[in-house]
C-alpha cells in the first residue's frame, strides 16, 4: 500500500467558489478534523460502545467553543454540542458507529487488520461524524464573525447500524425545538436528491426446547433449532404473499453447539422493511405469527424482543434544493495520480460495478429517489424538516458495508469526500440563516407531507435502548 495516500497533510482541494468565512474556517480546521476522522476509523467501535469515538468528537467540539451535554435518552455515547447565539436552531447529525466483522487495512486488496473490535467503518460513519462536526465549527465561526442570530447544534447519534440511536433521541423530545436538520452520508457518488427509504423493524426470536442425546434418546428432546428452522421456512413461503417492495431477511445467531446434542436454545434475528411504516407493522406481526406456529409445531417455547424500528425518510424539497445547489456550486471530487492508481487497483476487486472511475467528479442530477435500505434519520425527518446529501468518499462502484468501503474510507479519497460534505453542509446552514423565511416554508411542507393529524409514535415502542445489542455472548 502506498502510504502517501493516507497522509492528511497531502490533501489539496480546488473548488470553484470565492473564498469566504465558511471556506476559511473549513481550511483552517482541515488537519484537525481529518485527524479526528482517521482516529475514529482506527477505533472502529460498534453501536452503543463508541466511547472513544464519542468522547473525541465531544472534546473537539468543546475545544471549539461548544457546550456539551452527554448521556442523552439513556444512551451513554450520545451527546449534543451547541453554540447558541439566539435565533433559529439548525441541527447537523453526526454518526460514528462501525460494523462487525469488517476489519480491514487501507490496502486495495482484502487484508484483514488486527484490531480489538474486529469491526470496520464499512458505512463511513467515521467520516460522517467528523465532517458534520467540522461543518458545525465552520458555521459557529461564521456566526461569531458576522454576529448572526442563530444556534448551531451537532447531534452525536450512536448506533445507527441496527441500534436506532436517533429514535430514542426523537422519542425523548430532543429535537422538539429544532427548526431544520441537515445530514449527509458517505457514498461512491455525489448527490443531494429528494431521497426516501424503507422503514424497518427488527426482532430477535428465541426458541427454548429440551436437550437430549441426539442419537441415544432423541425422543426425549425438543429442538429449539427445529423451531427456528420451521419459522424460517414459513417466512420464506410468506414471501410469495407480501407487497413486492418488501424486504425480509434474517440470520441465525444461535443454533446449538454440537450435532449430537439436541439444542435447547436457538435464536434468529429478523429485519422487516417496506416504504410504509404501517405495512412494516403488519408484516412484522405476520412474522411473529410464524414464530408462534413454529413453537407450537415443534413443542418449544418462543419469546421475541423488538430490537429496533425506523421510519422511512421523509423528503423536504424546500431545503433539499438548497443543499443540492450548494453541492453543485462546489463540484465533485478530483483524484491525484496516486489516488487514481489506488482507485484502479481496488476497482479490479468489484463485481459488476455500476459506476466508472471518473464519475466522482460529477454531481448526480436532482431527482426523487428511493433507497431500499433504512436509517434512523427517518424518524427525525418526520418531526423536523430534514435534508441531506451524499459525497464520493469511496471509489465509484464500491458497495456499502463492504471491505472496500472500509479501505477507501481510511485514505485521502475518503477525506476529500468528507471535506466536500462539510463545505456543503456549512454553506447550506449559512444560506438558511441568511434567509430565515425558508424555515417557515420547510415546516409548512413538512406539515403538508405528514398531515395535520400525524402523531409520532416510534416503531420500537417504549423499549429502552439495547445498549448490549452488539455484545456477542
CATH number of the CATH domain containing 441 = 3.40.630.10
d(C-alpha 185, C-alpha 420), whole Å: 11
Specify the pLDDT at position 302. Answer: 98
pLDDT at residue 101 greater than cutoff 70: yes
- CB neighbourhood size of 149 (10 A): 11
The domain that holds 248 is classified in CATH as: 3.30.70.360
Cell numbers placing 221: 428432546
Q: How confident is the model at residue 116 (pLDDT cuts 50, 70, 90)?
A: confident
Q: How far apart are CA 316 and CA 319, in angstroms?
A: 6
Band of pLDDT at residue 113, cut at 50, 70 and 90: confident
CB distance 250 to 232 below 8 Å: yes
| 359, 286: one domain | no
Q: Are residues 218 and 188 in the same domain?
A: no
What is the pairing mode between strands 89-94 and 180-187?
parallel
Residue 121 lies in a domain: yes
Which of 261, 279, 308 lies at the terminal end of a domain, its last residue? 308
Task: Single out the residue of 196, 442, 140, 152 nearest to residue 321, CA to CA.
Answer: 442
Is residue 39 one of the residues assigned to a domain? yes
* All cell numbers assigned to 363: 454531481
Question: Does residue 463 lie in a domain region?
Answer: no
Structural domain contains residue 264 = yes
pLDDT higher than threshold 70 for residue 9: no
Same domain for 38 and 185? Answer: yes
- Asked if 34 and 108 sit in the same domain, the reply is yes
Q: Tell me, yes or no, whether 148 and 214 share the same domain.
A: no
The verdict on residue 469 lying in a domain is no
Radius of gyration of the chain (CA): 23
pLDDT above 60 for 7: no
For the segment 42-62, what is each residue's pLDDT rounded down to a tens digit? Answer: 999 999 999 999 999 999 999
> Does 89 fall in a domain?
yes
Considering the domain architecture, whether residues 20 and 140 belong to the same structural domain is answered as yes
d(CA 121, CA 67): 28
Phi, psi (rounded to 5 degrees) for 269: -115, 120
pLDDT average, residue stretch 402-414: 98
Q: Does 300 share its domain with 320?
A: no
314-357, pLDDT tens digit by residue? 999 999 999 999 999 999 999 999 999 999 999 999 999 999 99
Q: Is 462 a domain residue?
A: no
Same domain, 289 and 354: no
> Total domain count for the chain?
2
Strands (DSSP E) found in 86-191: 89-94, 99-100, 119-120, 150-156, 180-187
Length of the chain: 473
Instruction: Identify the band that residue 20 occupies on the pLDDT scale cut at 50, 70 and 90.
Output: confident
Assess whether 12 and 98 both reside in one domain: yes
pTM: 0.92
Asked if 80 and 178 sit in the same domain, the reply is yes
**Residue span of the structural domain in which 410 resides:** 3-196+312-450
pLDDT tens sequence across 412-422: 999 999 999 99
Residue 456 lies in a domain: no
Q: Give the span between the Cα atoms of 308 and 291, in whole angstroms.
A: 18
291 and 317 part of one domain: no
Interatomic CA distance for residues 46 and 101, integer angstroms: 10
Domain stop point among 256, 287, 308: 308
| Helix ranges, 29-70 (H) | 30-43, 51-63
More confident residue, 17 or 91: 91
pLDDT at 25 over 90: yes
pLDDT at 11: 36
Are residues 324 and 255 located together in one domain of the fold?
no
Amino acid at each position: 500500500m502506498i502510504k502517501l495516500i493516507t497522509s492528511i497533510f497531502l490533501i489539496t482541494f480546488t473548488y470553484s467558489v470565492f473564498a469566504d468565512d465558511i471556506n476559511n474556517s473549513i481550511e483552517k480546521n482541515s488537519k484537525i478534523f481529518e485527524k479526528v476522522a482517521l482516529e475514529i476509523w482506527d477505533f472502529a467501535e460498534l453501536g452503543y460502545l463508541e466511547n472513544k469515538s464519542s468522547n473525541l468528537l465531544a472534546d473537539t467540539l468543546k475545544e471549539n467553543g461548544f457546550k456539551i451535554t452527554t448521556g442523552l435518552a439513556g444512551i451513554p455515547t450520545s451527546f449534543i454540542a451547541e453554540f447558541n447565539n439566539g435565533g433559529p436552531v439548525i441541527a447537523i447529525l453526526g454518526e460514528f458507529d462501525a460494523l462487525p466483522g469488517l476489519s480491514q487495512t487501507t490496502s486495495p486488496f482484502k487484508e484483514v487488520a488486527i484490531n480489538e473490535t474486529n469491526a470496520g467503518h464499512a458505512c463511513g460513519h467515521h467520516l460522517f461524524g467528523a465532517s458534520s462536526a467540522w461543518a458545525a465549527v465552520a458555521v459557529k465561526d461564521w456566526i461569531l464573525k458576522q454576529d448572526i442570530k442563530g444556534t448551531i447544534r451537532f447531534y452525536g447519534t450512536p448506533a445507527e447500524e441496527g441500534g436506532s440511536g436517533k429514535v430514542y433521541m426523537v422519542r425523548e423530545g430532543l429535537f422538539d425545538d429544532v427548526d431544520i436538520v441537515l445530514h449527509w452520508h458517505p457514498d461512491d457518488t455525489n448527490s443531494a436528491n429528494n431521497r426516501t427509504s424503507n422503514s424497518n423493524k427488527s426482532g430477535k426470536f428465541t426458541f427454548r426446547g429440551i436437550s437430549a442425546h441426539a442419537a441415544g434418546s432423541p425422543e426425549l428432546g425438543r429442538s429449539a433449532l427445529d423451531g427456528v428452522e420451521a419459522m424460517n421456512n414459513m417466512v420464506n413461503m410468506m414471501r410469495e404473499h407480501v407487497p413486492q417492495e418488501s424486504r425480509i431477511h434474517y440470520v441465525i445467531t444461535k443454533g446449538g453447539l454440537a450435532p449430537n446434542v439436541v439444542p435447547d436454545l436457538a435464536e434468529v434475528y429478523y429485519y422487516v422493511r417496506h416504504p410504509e411504516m404501517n405495512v412494516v407493522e403488519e408484516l412484522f406481526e405476520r412474522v411473529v405469527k410464524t414464530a408462534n406456529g413454529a413453537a407450537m409445531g415443534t413443542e418449544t417455547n418462543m419469546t421475541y424482543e423488538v430490537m429496533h424500528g425506523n421510519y422511512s425518510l421523509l423528503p423536504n424539497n424546500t431545503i433539499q434544493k438548497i443543499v443540492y445547489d450548494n453541492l453543485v456550486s462546489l463540484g465533485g471530487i478530483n483524484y491525484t495520480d496516486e489516488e487514481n492508481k489506488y482507485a484502479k487497483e481496488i476497482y479490479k476487486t468489484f463485481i459488476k460495478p455500476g459506476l466508472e472511475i471518473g464519475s466522482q467528479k460529477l454531481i448526480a442530477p436532482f431527482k426523487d429517489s428511493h433507497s431500499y435500505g433504512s436509517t434512523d434519520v427517518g424518524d427525525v425527518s418526520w418531526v423536523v424538516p430534514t435534508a441531506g446529501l451524499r459525497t464520493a468518499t469511496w471509489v465509484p462502484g464500491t458497495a456499502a458495508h463492504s471491505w472496500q468501503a472500509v479501505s477507501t474510507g481510511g485514505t485521502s479519497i475518503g477525506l476529500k469526500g468528507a471535506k466536500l460534505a462539510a463545505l456543503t453542509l456549512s454553506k447550506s446552514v449559512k444560506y438558511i440563516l441568511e434567509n430565515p423565511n425558508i424555515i417557515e416554508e420547510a415546516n409548512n411542507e413538512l406539515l403538508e407531507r405528514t398531515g395535520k393529524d400525524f402523531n409520532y409514535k416510534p416503531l420500537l415502542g417504549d423499549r429502552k435502548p439495547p445498549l448490549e445489542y452488539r455484545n456477542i455472548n
